[in-house]
Structure 1
Amino acid sequence: MRMGLAIDASCDIPQKFLDDHGVTVMPITVRVDGETFLDDRSPAEVRRFIDRKLGDRSHSAETEPCSVEDVQRLFLDKLVLEQDCVFCLTVTATRSPINDHVNKASFAVLKHYRAAREKAGLSGQFLMRVVDTRNLFAGTAPAIVEAARLIGLGETPPAIRERVTHIANHSYGYMLPRDLYYLRARAKKKGDRSVGLFSAVLGSALDIKPLLRAFRGETGPVGKVRGFEHGAESLFGYAERRVRAGLLVPAVCVSYGGDLTDLDKLPGYADLRAACAEHGVELMEAPMSITGMVNVGEGAITLGLAAEDHEAEF
């Protein structure tokens, strides 16, 4: 059975991983100040967004995720002809309509795929399995990495779905923003009251940054740190401790809304890199998607890993 993997563009994962595993990306359209960007995780498009210096004012941007009809066309015109089973992993359904769109599209795909395959001279059943990663940005990476590993091993679709769902339920996604004013402006644009004006003003005045966590579909602050660099050191130190304690998936993904070479300049990152090398854990570095930068601001960090239940201390 030919099995494939599809993700939405806001799932932060390195381009090399996407290429190596033939992952299909469901795009998101982003409109900022009259310019349109197709967020399909293309490095060139991400670079164009950063070079145009739109990050500091893109809180007013409009994002348009792949519609139900777009997903249907992608599958019926392409994926049902290339694969016999496709796993679609999306960002958490509690923060985005993408999961709902893909689920709705799956009904039409499963209803009409036979005609498309027969026209191409193909026979046999086609399976489409949708999995909610229950996380955001780099926090989606553990489930994606595990799905690709199991597909490579030729595991059965039921076994893959069960395991990937388990990993999704044990994935921790963290976010460290640079600019609370930006975060609040974007939240206000989306009708999200999670970052209040008083918190934004106080945080910016005192240079206090929140550490935000996405876990099982819920997002919220789990700690406060003074200064971005101290926040990065705290976050990387936490990840290092989890690596040494043992992970459910041997990978830590870090996404950054800027030049990835900046990561090595941040305190604590070298220690995290050393711990990953020592324990056979892959440290994956990914540029933050355009959608991610629009929602949390340029220069932010997100980090994802999968571990047994634990209390994070910052």
Structure 2
Amino acid sequence: MRMGLAIDASCDLPQAFLEEHDITVMPITVRIDDKVFMDDRNPAEQARFLQQKLGSRGHSAETEPCSVEEVQRLFLDKLVLERDCVFCLTITATRSPINEHVIKASFAVLKHYREVREKAGLTGPFLMRVIDTRNLFVGTAPTIVEATRLIDAGETPAAIRERLTHIANNSYGYMLPRDLYYLRARAKKKGDRSVGLVSAVLGSALDIKPLIRAYRGDTTPVGKVRGFEHGAETLFNYAAQRVHAGLLVPAVSLSFGGDPAELAKLPGYDVLKAACEACGVALMESPMSITGMVNVGEGAVALGFAAEEHVAEF
């Protein structure tokens, strides 16, 4: 059985990894004033976004994930011909309509795929499975990484779906924003009251940064640190501890709202890198998606891994 993966563009993973595993990316359109960007994890488009220096205006962006009709076309024109089973992994349904769009599209795909495949001389059924990773941005990576391992191992679709659901329920995504005013403006734009004006003003005045965690569909601050670099060190040291304690998927994913080469310059990075090397864990670094940057701001750091349920203390 030819199995494959499709993800939405806000899922942060290295481009080389996506190409190695032939992962299809469902794009997101981002509009800022009169500028339009196609967020499809294309490095050239990400570079164009950064070169435009729209960081201060990104909070007003409008994002449009793949519509139901666009998902249908992607599958009926391409994926039902190239694969026999496709797992669609999306960011949490509590924060984006993309999961709902893919589920709705699946009804039409499963209704019409036979005629498309028959015209191409293909026989046999086509399976489409939609998985809500229950996380955001780089926090979706553990589920996607595990999916590639299971597919390469030749596991059955039923076994893969069960395992991916377990990993999604135990994936942790952390974000460290650089600019609280930006985060507050973006939250206001989206009707999210999680970052109030008073908190933003006080936090910026005192250089206090929140550590935000995405877990099981919920996004909330779980700690506060003084200074961005101290926050990065705190986050990296915590992740190193989790690596030594044992992960469900042998990978830690990092993304940066800009050039990911900046990650290695942050305090605590070497500790995390050493922990991963000692424990045989892959440290996967990527630029944050355009969608991620307009939501949490340029220069933000995000980190994701999967582990047994635990209480994090910062």
> TM range, normalised to the smaller chain?
over 0.9
Work out the CA distance in 2 between the residues paired with 1:261 and 1:186: 26
Matched AA of 2:282 = E
Identify the residue that residue 270 of structure 1 maps to in structure 2: 270
Matched AA of 2:8 = D
Work out the CA distance in 2 between the residues paired with 1:266 and 1:179: 17
1:178 equivalenced with 2:201 (yes/no): no
Identify the residue that residue 8 of structure 1 maps to in structure 2: 8
Tell me how far 1:33 sits from its aligned partner. Answer: 2.2
Identify the residue that residue 109 of structure 1 maps to in structure 2: 109
Q: Secondary structure of 2:283's partner?
A: strand
Q: Secondary structure of 2:303's partner?
A: strand
Identify the residue that residue 258 of structure 2 maps to in structure 1: 258
Matched AA of 1:18 = L
- Unmatched runs of 5 consecutive residues or more in structure 2: none
Any residues of structure 2 matched to 1:149-228 within 5 Å, and which? 149-228=149-228
1:310 equivalenced with 2:310 (yes/no): yes
Identify the residue that residue 131 of structure 2 maps to in structure 1: 131
Identify the residue that residue 288 of structure 1 maps to in structure 2: 288
Task: Deviation per CA, 1:39-86: give whole Å up to 9, x if none.
Answer: 000011001100111122111111110000000000000000000000
Tell me how far 1:267 sits from its aligned partner. Answer: 0.3
Matched AA of 1:99 = N
Matched AA of 1:303 = L
Any residues of structure 2 matched to 1:9-28 within 5 Å, and which? 9-28=9-28
Work out the CA distance in 2 between the residues paired with 1:265 and 1:287: 15
Matched AA of 2:260 = L
Identify the residue that residue 230 of structure 2 maps to in structure 1: 230
With structure 1 as the length reference, what TM-score do the two structures score?
0.99
Identify the residue that residue 55 of structure 1 maps to in structure 2: 55
Q: Which moved more, 1:18-27 or 1:257-266?
A: 257-266
Q: Secondary structure of 1:311's partner?
A: coil
1:80 equivalenced with 2:77 (yes/no): no
Tell me how far 1:119 sits from its aligned partner. Answer: 1.0
Q: Secondary structure of 2:56's partner?
A: coil
Identify the residue that residue 146 of structure 1 maps to in structure 2: 146
Q: Secondary structure of 1:93's partner?
A: coil
Matched AA of 1:36 = V
Tell me how far 1:258 sits from its aligned partner. Answer: 1.0
Matched AA of 2:159 = A
Identify the residue that residue 98 of structure 1 maps to in structure 2: 98
Matched AA of 2:266 = L
Tell me how far 1:136 sits from its aligned partner. Answer: 0.2
Equivalent residues, number? 314
Matched AA of 1:265 = K
Work out the CA distance in 2 between the residues paired with 1:300 and 1:289: 11
- Unmatched runs of 5 consecutive residues or more in structure 1: none
Tell me how far 1:261 sits from its aligned partner. Answer: 1.2
Work out the CA distance in 2 between the residues paired with 1:56 and 1:262: 20
Work out the CA distance in 2 between the residues paired with 1:106 and 1:301: 34
Work out the CA distance in 1 between the residues paired with 2:263 and 2:294: 20
Q: Secondary structure of 2:248's partner?
A: coil
Work out the CA distance in 2 between the residues paired with 1:85 and 1:97: 23
Aligned sequence identity (%): 79
C-alpha RMSD over aligned residues: 0.5
Tell me how far 1:32 sits from its aligned partner. Answer: 1.1
Work out the CA distance in 2 between the residues paired with 1:9 and 1:141: 12
Task: Deviation per CA, 1:88-135: give whole Å up to 9, x if none.
Answer: 000000000000000000000000000110111111100000000000
Work out the CA distance in 1 between the residues paired with 2:306 and 2:92: 15
Task: Deviation per CA, 1:278-302: give whole Å up to 9, x if none.
Answer: 1000000010000000111000011
Q: Secondary structure of 1:57's partner?
A: helix
Q: Secondary structure of 1:128's partner?
A: strand
1:36 equivalenced with 2:33 (yes/no): no
Work out the CA distance in 2 between the residues paired with 1:279 and 1:56: 40
